[in-house]
Amino acid sequence: MKKKKKNILPVVAGAVAVTALVITFVNKEKALEEERLSANEYYKDVNELYKENENKDGFTAEVVPGSDAGSSSKEVEGTLNEAGDLVINPGDIGEGATFFQLNVKGTDMAVMAVKAEDGTIRTAFDTCQICNGSPYAYFEQKGDKFQCQNCGNVYSRDMIETERGGCNPVPIMAEEKTETENEIIIPAKVLEENSGRFRNWKKL
């Protein structure tokens, strides 16, 4: 009796399919890595162009409407309580922003606080909602305006903490913090949830 020949086509087809999946996965990872490298080069090139031309006539990215020659903003080390919450004294906050420097579980980051025209204290993370991921996605104050150092977009003090989305400072809304006359508390959970935005922050 003749033995039936085994049909190896399904086996071959399966092997081809697995190989194709592996190749697709590898190519996808390679493409993502190239995209990340390309993005970093883009951010670097934009910033270099930005800084090279900042004092030249006709370069508008640096033009900040209503700005003055200086700024009273300052950087300070943030104070964390035992629970890891950031504690801010409202009495220390003025029209010149205070940038609270923090290290949350190994990630360097910062929270900005500034007094708006209506007297309220506005808080936000010192990184751009669109540009975060770039080492230049942080803000500098010029007069009553804030400018993202990556994209050049400008925001007034009164725009801080008013909206989500778009290219503006990541807001820390009223429902995300506790505010009294004596202190503003931004919970450790909120800090940790946003720390990922700072993974490449200021790594120039």
Q: What is the model's pTM?
A: 0.67
Q: Which of 57-71, 130-144, 158-172 has the lowest mean pLDDT?
A: 57-71
Listed residue (104, 60, 112, 57) closest to 85, CA to CA? 104
Report pLDDT digits (tens) over 67-76: 343 457 899 9
- Can you tell me which residue has the tokens 């086996």? 11
- What per-residue confidence (pLDDT) applies to 69? 34
Instruction: Looking at 59-197, list the stretches that DSSP marks H as alpha helix, in order from N- to C-terminal side.
Output: 188-194
| Cα–Cα distance measured from residue 70 to residue 68, given in angstroms and rounded to the nearest whole number | 6
| Cα–Cα distance measured from residue 105 to residue 38, given in angstroms and rounded to the nearest whole number | 28
Domain range 74-198, CATH architecture? 3-layer Sandwich (2.102)
Report pLDDT digits (tens) over 124-145: 999 999 999 999 999 999 999 9
Q: Report domain extents, the chain.
A: 7-63, 74-198
Q: Which of 9-18, 101-110, 162-171, 188-197 has the lowest mean pLDDT?
A: 9-18
